Structure 1
Amino acid sequence: MLGTGLTFPPNLGAVVRRTVANGELPALVVIHDPDGDWLVGDGINDPNIPDACGIYCLAHVAEMDPAITETAGLRSGFAAYRDDAGQPWKVEPFAFEDE
């Protein structure tokens, strides 16, 4: 599911925590939810507070943090987690808590 050589489509949008999008914090969570949507978080701050996230081009976010590209092959319904920017991704099945 993870690997090198894959890339995100150039126009693929994702819900991204602004702290990741502006380079303040590294991405520690990448989710490809069961509906096919992509979400990227910093693993620290609550993404549900107002204005915490925005829609960004995932390929551009991955340019700032090339390790995000390692998750491009993540299947729908899975999430990749890492403890910090230098660590490898761990993949687990994903479902929203209310499902």
Structure 2
Amino acid sequence: MDDRNVEGHQHSDQHEVFRSLPFPFSDGGFPANLGAVVQRTVLDGVEPAREVIHTGDISWVVGDGVNDPNQPGAVVVTCIKHVVERNSSVARLASLPIGQVAYRENPGQPWLIEPHSWPEE
């Protein structure tokens, strides 16, 4: 998923959303106002979160791992807490190191972590 053009945005519940916040997080969990680029299928509960990326520029990306996130309208910027509400195991990834991706085949399976790099275009 390409998040290069994402900046802070307002969410529908009218609080500020930040693209990145100082890391590591002070309480070990995701801050309430931390934004992420999230695939709509994950946010809407159609698909589970299967990949969480903590990019090299300290932003966060959450995908379903099966649908193309680069399609028009496929992603939205929202608070990562909304992902955690639907996928509770994502909360354990708040300490995911910068430049790493956590992925899993399906819910209930362990998250595997490895260095992340964007595919060549």
**Displaced runs of 4+ in structure 1, greater than 4 A?**
none
State whether residues 7 and 59 of structure 1, in contact with CA within 8 Å, keep that contact through their aligned partners in structure 2.
no
The structure whose RCO (Cα within 8 Å, separation 6+) is larger is 1
- Number of corresponding residues: 95
Percent of residue pairs bearing the same amino acid type: 48
CA RMSD of aligned residues (A): 1.5
Gaps of 5+ in 1: none
What are the equivalent positions in structure 2 for 1:42-61 lying under 5 Å apart?
42-61=64-83
For 1:36, give the aligned amino acid. I
Alignment-derived partner of residue 88 in structure 1: 110
Greater C-alpha radius of gyration: 2
Scaled by the length of structure 1, what TM-score is found? 0.90
Scaled by the length of structure 2, what TM-score is found? 0.75
The secondary structure found in structure 2 opposite 1:91 is strand
User: Is it true that 1:20 corresponds to 2:32 in the alignment?
Assistant: no
The secondary structure found in structure 1 opposite 2:76 is strand
Distance 2:119 2:45 in 1: 28
Gaps of 5+ in 2: 1-26
